[in-house]
């Protein structure tokens, strides 16, 4: 039991809750020198800049040794495609 003092004191009770699981999906990827072409990106209810960030994190220096430093990520929500440009060929 906890009390929080706002304009008046309010008693609050901590309750557990279940977090939604992440979304798992498949992408088609073509690698060409410094560019990774990604297609069939699912439509998700998130802003475009979040999707660009997710794509960048996914292809940035993965544990398997693939990927590398990202120079730029372009994402087209309409066509559900993206191009990840690496700093160096890999």
Residue pointed to by tokens 């809750």: 17
Going from N- to C-terminal start, the domains of the chain cover 28-86
pLDDT, tens digit, 9 for 90 and up, residues 66-83: 567 889 999 999 999 999
**pLDDT score of 1:** 66
Write out the two tokens for 43: 């439509």
Q: What is the rounded CA–CA span in Å between residue 17 and residue 20?
A: 10
Q: What is the rounded CA–CA span in Å between residue 87 and residue 71?
A: 5
Number of DSSP helices (H) and strands (E) in the chain, helices first: 1, 6
Fold (topology level) of 28-86: Alpha-Beta Plaits (3.30.70)
Extract the residue ranges of the chain whose pLDDT is less than 50.
Answer: none
Contact 2/10 with Cβ under 8 angstroms? Answer: no
**DSSP state for residue 82 in the 8-state scheme:** E
């Amino acid at each position: 039991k906890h009390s929080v003092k706002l304009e008046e004191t309010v008693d609050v009770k901590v309750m557990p809750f279940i977090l939604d699981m992440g979304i798992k999906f498949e992408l088609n990827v073509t690698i060409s020198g410094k560019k990774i072409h990604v297609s069939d990106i699912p439509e998700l209810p998130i802003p475009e800049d979040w999707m660009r960030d997710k794509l960048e994190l996914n292809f940035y220096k993965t544990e398997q040794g693939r990927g590398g430093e990202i120079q730029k990520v372009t994402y087209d929500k309409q066509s559900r495609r993206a191009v990840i440009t690496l700093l160096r060929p890999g």
